[in-house]
Chains A and B, each alone.
Chain A
Amino acid sequence: MYLTKSAIEKLLDNKQLIIRPLLDKQTQLGEVSLDLRLGQDFLVSYLGRDVSIDATGETRNRPLHIFFDETRRIVGEAFVFHPNQVVLCSTLEYIRLPDNVFMSLTTRSSYSRLGFSLSTVVQPGYCGCISIELTNTGNVPVKVLVGARLLQARFFKMESSTKYLNTDRKYLCQVRPQVSKAPEDTEFKILKSLVNTTPNLP
């Protein structure tokens, strides 16, 4: 079920839900949502010497972060999102979710109307700043202030708890945007071995 304002406040008060910093609770906390801010660190994709990004898990390929330039801003500075450029950023807030609450994250409608779209789910028990990928799908560059309330989070309470800490350690306690860890998927080996074993059906 959706958590309402009073339920979110209760979680915050008894420190089951951690949002740090929560600069302006009054403004950020809505009836069924909480606004989150754009963080200070960015990874911007650029065209390097490699012809393509290889997400097939070939170990001899170069790590994905070489396709991104790291850049930092101070809160209150502007960041320009160029059309169709993938920008990895993160929330300004460091978040820790309770073990029985997951969070859906979308761009606030005022930013969606500028051409941004994002929709992602954050697992129960997650802790860290949340990496998000933003693309300006419009055809003019858009300047956004670092620290602006770009995102809207909604919280869903579940019947039972899960233990996030036991699974996804690589993404744990991050404070900067992270590149895709797709090449580290363990099932790639299995998938590739299927090439030789799948019978050629007529």
Chain B
Amino acid sequence: MKTPNLEITPQNLELRFSQLLRVTDKLKSSKYSDSKKKEKLHQTLMVAITKIDDCNFCGLSKTELWHHHVLIERIFLWLEYLVDSTINQTPYEIMNCLELVLADWIDDLDNYVLLTSLSNKRNDFAFHYDQDPSLLIEIRKLLKQYYDIDLELDVIRIILPKFLSHDYLTAVHLYHELAHFIDWKYSVTDQVLFKRGLLFRKDADENKIKYQEHFADIFAAQYVDRASCVHLSYLTYRKPNGKHPPTRIRIELVENFLDEKESMIVSDIKKATLSCTRRPLKKRFKTAGISDFNNLIPIEVRAPEELHGLFIEAWDIWQNPKSALRKNFKRSDLYRILNNLVEKSISNYFLTQAWEKKYVSDEIRN
């Protein structure tokens, strides 16, 4: 990394580091019992902070000051994410579902730690990650070089609205956002553009955004069927984003994918996905014929496909004006009930899985 011509004084750095220490105090007793990886990241950062605390910034060269600036800013950023990722804050039911999706698509999942940030904005759903991998490599190098610290983990930050963190209807958005991460990791859209001869045209950037959205829509539909489209059409109603493709076309393509109808774009996206990721785009959800939700009980999920299917079952009831639950309950009660039932179904699944695994392994041992 080149040292830019900016003045990083020891005093600037001392100020920043003091601010960072305040955040650290808040985080010291944090528990991340849902994930060993978060704990590991936390511990590594604490070690780094303790070591940097012993460093005399006034004795650093210009380059070293710049390096410390990069390190401190990055540690600060990660700490900010960790604040919202404690067991009390993080909606781990939905996080666990997303981690299963990631497991379908990436081999080195152990290297990734998923953190959550809760936003105050109602439409904030996003995945954040280092778009430029060289930056993370640089940070790892600096940590090793100055403080002999090894950091293998890579961070994916999932942003969702604070007030909707237990809203499993709206959570289908995160499947779409996750798709952008997969696209970035494997450059699927670039491949589509290349095949269609659009990559080197003047309007390549515009096309890229279009195809990125199409890919993400179809990717999400693999898991949550039409559910992500339903909400999409509400959010984009009368507010066509200049760069995004029209909602009507987006939904049409998702329908084509789900109904296996002939479509050039869908077919190109499927081909590119297979060649870039070695994994096919296909339906990866399963729903029961008659949902237990109609009887006000959580669904006994037996496989990940059914887990993703929960979101679809909840949407089906919510969308259907004829459903008995719609008739019997006030909308605010139905909203609460559906969210509760999805959440309980998810947490029961992961608990039962863990229990059975442990139980079986104990029986073998005995």
Residue positions of A touching B, CB distance < 8 A: 18, 20-21, 23-24, 40, 70-75, 77, 92, 94, 96, 127-129, 165, 169, 172-175
Chain A nearest CB, measured from B189 CB (Å): 38
Within the assembled complex, what's the spacing in Å between the Cα atoms of A128 and B348? 13
Contacts of A20 in B (CB 8 A): 297-298, 300, 344, 348
Contact of B340 among A21, A165, A175 (CB under 8 A): A175
Contact B344 A96 (CB under 8 A): no
| Known pairs A96-B296, A175-B343; A74 contacts B34 (CB<8 A) | yes
B343 touches A18 (CB 8 A): no
Interface residues of B in 318-366 (CB under 8 A from A): 328-329, 333, 336-337, 340-341, 343-344, 347-348, 351-352, 354-355, 359
Q: How far, in whole Å, are A129 and B296 apart by their CA atoms in the complex?
A: 12
Residues of A within 8 A of B297 (CB): 18, 20, 94, 96, 127
B88 contacts chain A at the CB level, 8 A cutoff: yes
What's the least CB distance linking B87 to chain A, in Å? 5
Q: Which residues of A have CB within 8 Å of B347?
A: 40
With the chains together, A24 CA to B355 CA distance in Å? 9
Give 17 new A-B contacts, CB below 8 A, not counting A72-B87, A174-B340, A175-B341.
A20-B344, A20-B348, A21-B348, A21-B352, A21-B355, A23-B355, A24-B359, A71-B88, A73-B87, A75-B354, A92-B351, A94-B298, A129-B344, A169-B329, A169-B333, A173-B341, A175-B343
CB A172 to nearest CB in B, in angstroms, measures: 7
Give the most central of B88, B298, B328, B343: most A CB within 10 Å.
Answer: B298
Q: Which residues of B contact A72 (CB under 8 A)?
A: 87-88
Which B residues lie within 8 Å of A21 (CB)? 348, 351-352, 355
Q: Is chain B's binding surface mostly helix, strand, loop or mixed?
A: helix
B18 at the interface (CB under 8 A from A): no
- Per CB-CB distance, the 8 closest pairs between chain A and chain B, nearest first, are A173-B337, A175-B340, A74-B33, A21-B348, A175-B344, A127-B296, A23-B355, A18-B297
Asked whether B296 lies within 8 Å of A173 as measured between CB atoms, the reply is yes
A23 to B340, CA, bound (A): 20
Q: State A74–B351 Cα separation when bound (angstroms).
A: 9
Give the complex CA separation of A169 and B329 in angstroms: 9
B277-301 at interface with A (beta carbon < 8 Å): 295-298, 300
